[in-house]
Amino acid sequence: MASFDRILSQKSIFRNLSVLSPHYVPKELPFREQHIEEIMTVVSPALKGQKPRNLFMYGKTGTGKTCCMKRVMEDFLEAGREKKTSMHYVNCRIYNSRYRIMQKIMKNYVPELEKSGFGLPFLYEKLVEICSGGEQMVVILDEIDMTKDLDELVYTLTRANDEINGGGVSMVGISNKLSFKDSLDPRSKSSLYETEMIFQPYTAEQLQRILEQRAEKGFEKEVVNSSAINLTAAITSQESGDARYALKLLNKAGEIAQQNGKNKVTDEDVETARKKVEVDLTIETVNTLPEMHQIVLYAICDLSVSGSRYARLQGFENSMLFSGEVYEEYEKICKNLRKRPRSSRWYKEYLNDLEVLGLITTTPSGKGVRGQTTLVRMGQEPRCMLDILKKSLFSEYS
């Protein structure tokens, strides 16, 4: 008979599972000390009652951007406890519009804002009122490029300072895309006065050190072979240099070893875990995509399975799709879902985002094709992706 007592009494190779989570923020972040120092330098004027410059942090997934910012946030809130300062973290994948972001920030001051019915002008006036009382507010916008009305958000937060007397609002934007500002309206761009930081992917040696640090606290003593840590680091550096991927891979390898009754994590466990983690990460990535990105990806998958009519006519292999035919398919799916399709400008942004996430690849058409276009190819198995997307997009219609 199943019972928690029996499960909890079983011997485990794990000491503290939370340490192996990508969301865990350690006291020390190897190879990111300089980045932390720079972030602290940029936001420190707020602790002296002065408005900091806006800060934008760029780097691929798993390069330590969010972890560094959360590490700084802990120290900032502690240092500013007796001062008129505040720092608010917002995940723009979840709070993905100007209204939702403003509501998320302001409900820290006005709890009744949790309810609907308060318009954007009311939220804006509250922001100006609070900061005019002398508060220096720092807003951290993680995955800022996922905000639907990004121009309006940037413009609202930067222009609020023109009406604030005494305090101010500053932004820390975190993005996986170095080019995210290129899509901003010139009016929004000109209102930004910012500092920029780049986070490079971790090397195999750096990943090895990070994994050793986490394994020491996450697993029981001498459970993980050094060979398994080296292999995890090597696989990750070849794939992406993504520390989150490395941690998930090591965690999954530990789970597999424990399920098989082993007291050591070996290279074999890492190799087995690799296949499972790739599937898990794909599902997680697809499910957290904004709706319009999902619809574009669905169009690419659907055409990849059925085969490109245009590619056949031009003599290309079936896996290559013309950007124009993908856009036509995207419009059809939007119509079926009763959604308004976005313009071709936004569509190109969606393709860029999907490529950054490794879900597709794009290449210019080159010679032999009438006109200039972009060729699109799936980066993953399209049939598996279709199944995931169907559940996400069409579940309410089934």
Q: Mind listing the pLDDT tens digit for each residue in 69-81?
A: 999 999 999 999 9
What percent of the chain has pLDDT above 90?
A: 63
Asked whether residue 26 is assigned to any structural domain, the reply reads no
Check residue 257 and report its DSSP letter: H
Together in a domain, 263 and 320: no
Asked whether residue 59 is assigned to any structural domain, the reply reads yes
The distance between the two most distant Cα atoms of the chain, rounded to a whole number of Å, is 70
Asked whether residue 11 is assigned to any structural domain, the reply reads no
Together in a domain, 193 and 214: no
| Last residue in a domain, options 199, 230, 256 | 199
| Last residue in a domain, options 284, 310, 325 | 284
- Which DSSP string do the residues of 277-330 spell out, in sequence order? HHHHHHHHHHHTS-HHHHHHHHHHHHHHHH--HHHHHHT--TT-EEHHHHHHHH
The backbone torsions φ and ψ at residue 279, rounded to the nearest 5 degrees and listed phi first, read -65, -45
CB atoms closer than 10 angstroms to residue 112: 8
188 is in which domain, residue-wise? 33-199
pLDDT on residue 121: 93
- pLDDT surpasses 50 at 113: yes
Together in a domain, 97 and 231: no
| Last residue in a domain, options 242, 257, 284 | 284
pLDDT tens-digit series, residues 229-278: 999 999 999 877 899 999 999 999 999 999 999 999 999 999 999 988 88
* pLDDT confidence tier of residue 199, bands split at 50, 70 and 90: very high
Together in a domain, 209 and 273: yes
Together in a domain, 165 and 276: no
Extract the tokens encoding 368. 């032999």
Check residue 264 and report its DSSP letter: S
Together in a domain, 300 and 241: no
